Amino acid sequence: MAIVTGAAQGVGRTVSLRLAEMGASVVINDIQEDKLDSVAEEISARGGVALAVRADVGIQSDVEKLVAQAETTFGRIDTLVNNAVAYGGVEKSDLNVEVTPDNAWERTFAVNFYGAVWATRFAIPIMQRGGGGVIVNVGSTSGFSGDTVHVAYAASMAAKYSLTRSVATSHGKRGIRVNAVASGLILSPTAQQNLSPEKLEAYNANLLVDEFGETEDLASVITFLAGPESKYITGQTIIVDGGFQAHQPWHAQNHIVHPQAPI
């Protein structure tokens, strides 16, 4: 049995569908109720079992009710995917440390970090009663690199990866395995709508692969980490970004910086 937060669209939707196809009953969560119900119907139409629970993971009492409802309905929790992210709602105000307002910091950390803390806190005892469990924290490569904007978002991602290592260490011998996935640009339907051709061209120039990643590419890594094939992997953050973090920042301008480099 699995819980997936932020499951109404994009990566969360794809992960939920994959887990259901693998035989898991899935509790899917989001604040977008109509889209969430649509995902539940899609899972059911494919022969899976899904329960849609509207909850705001940035509110502790909502998270506690979400986890309790999962246990009440299915009797156990084997997998928790902390995928919900606050970004779009605060993106325009989350700029740099001088100007980003406190409410943007608070909302970003409430969803991106504390949401994972609370879900992990409430799920672990249930997992242990069932013999153990797996947690996958989903984040962004922003947690590794500085940028000129989105300071709160980046800080919340870094905190999420530290949480991953700490829980893997403190609870590994208690049957809890924890990993994280740091995502680069994923060309989801929402990203395709929001990114201009100029932005996509800039991103593409720094890819080390031929195509942008899609939701299935990230979901395959998440479900791998959630499954038994990855039983010897814990406390890790797996970067899935088409090679962005692998090269020097002037990769796209290599012909200028290193003209002597062989083509």
Calculate what percentage of the chain has a pLDDT beyond 70: 98
The reply to whether 232 belongs to the active site is no
In a domain, 145, yes or no: yes
pLDDT for the residue numbered 27: 98
In a domain, 261, yes or no: no
Whether the pLDDT of residue 34 is over 80: the answer is yes
Confidence of residue 106 (pLDDT cuts 50, 70, 90): very high
Domains in the chain: how many in total? Answer: 1
H helical segments located in 209-263: 215-226, 254-257
In a domain, 258, yes or no: no
The residue annotated as part of the active site, out of 87, 114, 153, 232, is: 153
Do 90 and 112 contact (CB within 8 A), yes or no?
Answer: no
In a domain, 22, yes or no: yes
Domain range spanning residue 42?
2-243
In a domain, 83, yes or no: yes
In a domain, 253, yes or no: no
Give residue-wise pLDDT tens across range 48-91.
999 999 999 999 999 999 999 999 999 999 999 999 998 756 76
In a domain, 260, yes or no: no
In a domain, 126, yes or no: yes
Measured CA to CA, the distance from residue 25 to residue 48 in angstroms comes to 7
Residue labelled with tokens 């669209």: 9
Question: The domain that contains 195 carries what CATH number?
Answer: 3.40.50.720
Give residue-wise pLDDT tens across range 173-222.
999 999 999 999 999 888 888 889 998 999 999 999 999 999 999 999 99
CA 44 vs CA 1, 10, 88, 186: distances in Å: 15, 18, 29, 26
Do 1 and 29 contact (CB within 8 A), yes or no?
Answer: no
Which residue in 160, 6, 145 sits closest to 86, CA to CA?
Answer: 6
